[in-house]
Amino acid sequence: MTRFRTVDLLVTVLIGAAFGVAFLGYGQLYTLIGPLTAVFKPAEGLLAGIWFLPAVLAALIVRKPGAALLAEMIAAVLEMLLGGQWGWGTAVSGLLQGGGVELAFALLRYRRFTLPVAMLGGACAGMLEWVWERFAYYPEMSWTFAVMLLAAFLLSGAVLGGALGWAASRALAATGAVDSLASGREHARTVEA
């Protein structure tokens, strides 16, 4: 179960690389909505779950311990190297986000790859990312707003990271692109039944 095959590594790296490039554009969204969220900063947390997608997708598709962390770190470091606006902080975020998703799947010993587990993974990533952002990016924020930001991170992590990641993994499995992986084989069994 824990040994990575070449295909496992390739899929994990591809997920991370694709999101690393996509995140450059997504980061610009934060710049565009800056004037809107300036009034209520905790609203920024509602967009956070998208950042957790590489980890959730890798965990659901590859189903190996470490896949979520590796995919998220590749995405974060690539985004940073391509000139992402948060610099080295992006790598810290990648470590925490990937670690949060790993934590959720590890709690169930990497044996359940369901929607609730994916949503838990997104929420755990949101919790860890909130700790980093609270002190690195929002040290002046009141604790009332910080708790609201946490709620936004948890909600976004569960829905945009977890549920959207789960839906994307199911859609990808339906194409047959991941038939050589456990997620693809599981999908084929459910279609046959």
pLDDT at position 187 is: 74
- The total of other beta-carbon atoms located within 10 Å of residue 103's CB is 17
- Which residues neighbour 98 within 8 Å (Cβ) at sequence distance 6 or greater? 54, 55, 68, 69, 70, 71, 72, 73, 125
Asked if residues 57 and 183 have their Cβ atoms less than 8 Å apart, the reply is no
Q: Which residue has the tokens 């990016």?
A: 137
Task: Give residue 2's pLDDT.
Answer: 64
- DSSP track, 48-87: GGGGGHHHHHHHHHH-STTHHHHHHHHHHHHHHHTT-TTT
Angle among Cα 178, 25, 155 to the nearest 5 degrees reads 70
Residue type present at position 143: W
**How many other C-beta atoms are found inside a 10 Å radius of the C-beta of residue 182?**
16
d(CA 174, CA 179): 9
Q: CA-CA distance, 181 to 175, in Å (whole number)?
A: 13
Element (H or E) spanning 148, and its range? helix 143-156
Query: Quick one: tokens of 172?
Result: 């990808």
Given a contact cutoff of 8 angstroms between Cβ atoms, the answer to whether 93 and 36 are in contact is no
Tokens 């962390």 correspond to 69
In tens digits, what is the pLDDT along the chain, a chain of 193 residues? 568 899 999 999 999 999 999 999 898 888 888 888 888 989 989 999 999 999 999 999 999 999 999 999 999 999 999 998 889 999 999 999 999 999 999 999 999 999 999 999 999 999 999 999 999 999 999 999 999 999 999 999 999 999 999 999 999 999 988 888 878 788 777 776 6
Three-state SS at 162:
helix
Give Cβ neighbours of residue 99 (< 8 Å, ≥ 6 apart).
69, 125, 128
Residue pair 126/11 in contact by the 8 Å Cβ criterion? no
pLDDT the model gives residue 55: 98
All domains of the chain, ordered by start, with CATH? 6-33+42-192 (1.10.1760)
Q: How many residues does the chain have?
A: 193
Residue 35, pLDDT score = 85
